[in-house]
Structure 1
Amino acid sequence: MNIDWLSVAAFVIVLIFFIIIYKLQKKEVSFTGIILGALAAGVVIGIIFSGHTSWVMPIGKIYVSTLNAIVSPLIIVSILSSITSLGSMKQLKGIGLRSILWLLMTTLLAILLSMGLGLTFGVGRNSYLSLEGIDAQNFQSKVVPFTQVLIGFFPRNVISDIAEENTIPMILFAVLIAVSYIMAANENHEKVEIFKKFIEAVKEIIFKAVDFIISLTPYAVLTLIATATGNGISRAGIIWSLLVLLIVSFIAFAFDMWVINAVLVKVFAKLSPFRFFRKILPAQIVGFSTQSSAGTLPISTEILVDKIGIAPKVANFTAPLGTTIGMPGCAGIWPVLIAIYGINGLGIHYGIKDYILLAVVSLFVSLGTAGVPGTATITTASVLTAMGLPLELIVLSIPISAIADTGRTATNITGAMVAAAIVGRKENSLNDKIFNDIEINDSVETEVIQDSLEEVPVGAGCRL
């Protein structure tokens, strides 16, 4: 048996870098800094050992497989936890349904926006992606009648759906069980309370597993980038394509936050968009600065009640729900742009039907994978898996993901606050006198932002 000693040498050097990464993590060096360092090291190793990374490649593949394995249980437990927390059928039918509807509506609009921008700017075009072991022909769409696509949305056998990674049937099954729990809890809460406790316990365990997998990201970046570079990725092409992806994503974030949401606020909440955005600015700044949707909740709910004039029963329900359902930045714009990046970069032919399916899948996924560590990673993995696209695309986008997370989080927060305003109006729980008469003093605004920045843990939102 012939041994490729250059591949062995590359493997040894990668192990040395693994030790360095581990020590940096122990010293609590910035996660983003470690990832960027791993990226640079991967490129250098790939160039030096071009064509000799066969011993390195399996490590990255194992990470991708592990990430894929956690997606299905995470989808199910996230939906069960989110919907069962609504408490009662009355709450589900009233504020609950309206909140879910408008949170999903903001996400749907973000999906359509990102799809339009991604196709217009040709995200990923001319990047000539070449991923180890991946043949673009394997991802060409098969012609399937629309009726079959529709039937495929509904669960047949939950075990086979999980095994076959059928995302939408899993989501619908979880919704069915969650709603059934609420109905049963209304009749005899004590009898089914153990189910809720079980779900929360499982969620805690799954989230810990996700935390662990995300912590391994720098190691995966190093090996996958080394393999990709060593196998002939056009380095200039991919760097430029990632820059285009980042720019387009921020165009999408800005347009979604201040144009689409302005129309929603004006038409459905019947509020002045300029006054509304000026009042929620502290929450946007905190979200942008800390990348923490959940951590920004104290300031966002306070603004919704004290500055926008929304009743606490609506603000305290819709805003927190917005960290678990919807999330237009993490679950709408980003996964769609990554998918289009891969479609163009791998030269896959997608027709109108395929893009419609991509939009539907992204919307369903937004219902089931939000509010967890590494939300952007999980939602993107879910969408790519459902569409049959390679998960390696996530790793390629990691170098810009940390930057994009600032815009993603601000977009999530804005969408949730807009949804709360609309629900408040529809529920007759919005005080126009408070909204129109109370001005935010600049010094108070600055103090609120500073206090929030000190209290909010950095990176608890979408960050990879």
Structure 2
Amino acid sequence: MTFLTSVSGRVLLALIVGLATGAVLQGMNLGSTGGLISIAEAVGGIWLGALQMTVIPLVLSLLVVGVAAVSDAASAGRLTSRAIMWFAGLLVVVIAASLMLYPLVNSVWPVDPASAASLYVGAAGTEAPPPPQAIDFGSWLQSLAPTNPVTAAAENAILPLVIFALFFAFAVTRLPEHQRALLVGVFDAIADAMIVIVNWVLFVAPIGVFALALTLGLRSGFGSTGAIVHYVLLISSGCILVALFAYPLASVFGKVPLARFARAIAPAQVVAFSTQSSLGTLPVMVERAVDHLDVPERVAGLVLPLAVALFRMTSPVANLGVVFFICHVSGVEPSIGQMIAGGIVAFAVSISSVGLPGQSSFFISIAPICLAMGAPVELLPLLLAVEVIPDIFRTVGNVSADLAVTTILNRSEQVVASDRG
């Protein structure tokens, strides 16, 4: 499949053509474009609404299925349990770092104000975002336990809904096996059905993205191009930092010299760069771990498939970066409580949506974080169109982190074996 016949290629082409068409029509001063804007806005709005309607049921279903999968894996043995603890611990570390660093990066390296305004106004159709609501910390804590989960879902109160879903999911794991299997099967089927809908919506994504980009071009011309380039560089840089973080992890905790680790993982990174698939890189990862990092086959054969199935270290970093970028260009300043909520949702989403295809996971993973942090979701479809570039570095970062964690767990196995000896 060539790039232009893939979903990513067609969506990116639709963004470029739509933005260029709108900008040219605006520059030609052909009279009022209000009618064309209304039509394009309506088409794009229908497509965005079709994506949004799957978010709540997918989040609930994927959390139940994801927690069940983690519970099953954790009961499989000591090495598996330690792997899951490392996965969870590293996700917490990178989420905390993201919450601290992205606001700092946005203040030191801001988007050009004119380009940011063009992107927001062109995509959202309003001159300014709604003013943020001031919520005291006590009220925020009290809101975390929803008195009515259905109402929370209807009001897009995503963090209370996620907390309810996590409690429900862990409760399901304590049920008798036949009841547990029945409920997990039902939610798995619901998630699969929602993904089918998402894939239908993504099939016509070029039409929806073209309409939204046309609206953007008609309103702001090429003024938003700088903001889009800034976004690609920001998210790609965050994923590259995750990949670089893997080297000291392997050196300090896995006791593998930096140069040796770099040489060992380079071929896997090349495959990850070219395929944009952690699963497709798995055979190379296993081979490099066993033959070049001296990881026993039993360790590599357990840890690496588990990492591909449950662990994507770039996911919360990139997803939070997207939301902070949207907040930055739209003038939204999330409170401490909203940022904590975003971090919690980013963690929950990262363990529940790892099995989704890339195009599907972008919106489903980021929209809940937007809702938690008060960021407008209207910009997401346009950012989805250029996600093909950051997605390359997402995969490279994930593969690098997977191999680093494998060296760490191999080292811990050696220590345990020597203590027993």
Q: What TM-score does the superposition give when structure 2 sets the normalisation length?
A: 0.82
Identity %: 23
Alignment of 1:207 with 2:198, yes or no, is no
Measured against aligned partners, the alpha-carbon deviations of 1:64-89 in whole angstroms (never above 9, x if no partner) come to 11211111222222222223224648
Query: Structure 1 residues 261, 117: CA separation in 2 closer, same or farther (over 3 Å shift)?
Result: farther
Where 1:149 maps in the other structure, the secondary structure is helix
- Alignment pair present for 1:372 and 2:360: no
Aligned pair partner of 1:255 in 237, 241, 253: 241
Count residues with an aligned counterpart.
Answer: 400
Displacement of 1:352 in angstroms is 5.0
Q: Equivalent residue for 2:7?
A: 31
What letter is aligned with 1:51?
A: G
Partner of 2:68: 84
Of residues 378, 381, 403, the one that matches 1:395 is: 381
1:338 aligns with 322
Quick one: structure 1 residues 77 and 276, their matched pair in 2 at CA, closer, same or farther if it must change by over 3 Å? farther
Q: CA deviation at 1:356?
A: 4.4
The superposition leaves residues 330-358 of structure 1 with CA deviations (integer Å, 9 ceiling, x where unpaired) of x2232222222222222233455544444
1:29-108 to structure 2, matched below 5 A, reads 29-47=5-23, 48=25, 50-52=33-35, 53-86=37-70, 88=72, 91=75, 94-108=78-92
Which runs of 4 or more aligned residues in structure 1 lie more than 6 Å from their structure 2 counterparts after TM superposition? 429-432
Instruction: Please give the secondary structure, in 2, of the residue aligned with 1:348.
Output: coil
Hey, what's the Cα distance between the residues in 1 that align with 2:297 and 2:58? Answer: 30
**If each structure's helix is expressed as a fraction of its own residues, which one has the higher value?**
2
Deviations 1:95-118 (A, max 9, x none): 455434432443344442461434
Which of 244, 255, 262 is residue 277 of structure 1 equivalent to? 262
Which residue of structure 1 lines up, in the alignment, with residue 405 of structure 2?
419
Alpha carbons of structure 1 residues 146 and 37: separation in structure 2 relative to 1, 3 Å: same
Cα distance, 1:431 vs. partner? 9.2
Q: Distance in 2 between matches of 1:385 and 1:332?
A: 15
Q: Which runs of 5+ in 2 are unaligned?
A: 27-32
Partner of 1:293: 278
- Deviation of 1:229 after TM superposition, in Å, equals 2.1
Moved more, 85-94 or 72-81: 85-94
CA distance in 1, matches of 2:152, 2:378: 23
Q: 1:250 to 1:137 in 2, by over 3 A?
A: closer
Aligned with 1:169 (options 160, 164, 184): 160
Distance 1:286 1:429, change over 3 A: farther
For 1:136, which of 99, 117, 128 is the aligned residue?
128
Residue 90 of structure 1 deviates from its aligned partner by 5.8
Partners of 1:141 and 1:354 within 8 A in 2: no
Question: 2:94 and 2:292 mapped to 1: Cα distance?
Answer: 26
Structure 1 residue 383, shift from structure 2 partner: 1.4
**TM-score, structure 1 as length reference:** 0.75
CA contact (8 A) 1:158 1:173 kept: yes
Query: Structure 1 residue 224: deviation in Å?
Result: 0.7
Cα deviation 1:297-335 (Å, max 9, x = unaligned):
333244344543445565445434434544233x22322
Write out aligned runs for 1:345-356 (5 A).
345-350=329-334, 354-356=338-340
- CA distance in 2: counterparts of 1:301 and 1:124, whole angstroms: 44
CA RMSD of superposed structures (Å): 3.3
SS, match of residue 386 in structure 2:
helix
- Matched residues in 2 for 1:269 and 1:147: separation? 42
Question: CA, structure 1 residues 74+293, in 2 after alignment: closer, same or farther (shift >3 Å)?
Answer: farther
CA displacement 1:359-418 (0-9 Å, x = unmatched): 343233323332202222321222112223222211222342111111111112222333
Unpaired runs of 5+ in structure 1? 1-23, 433-464
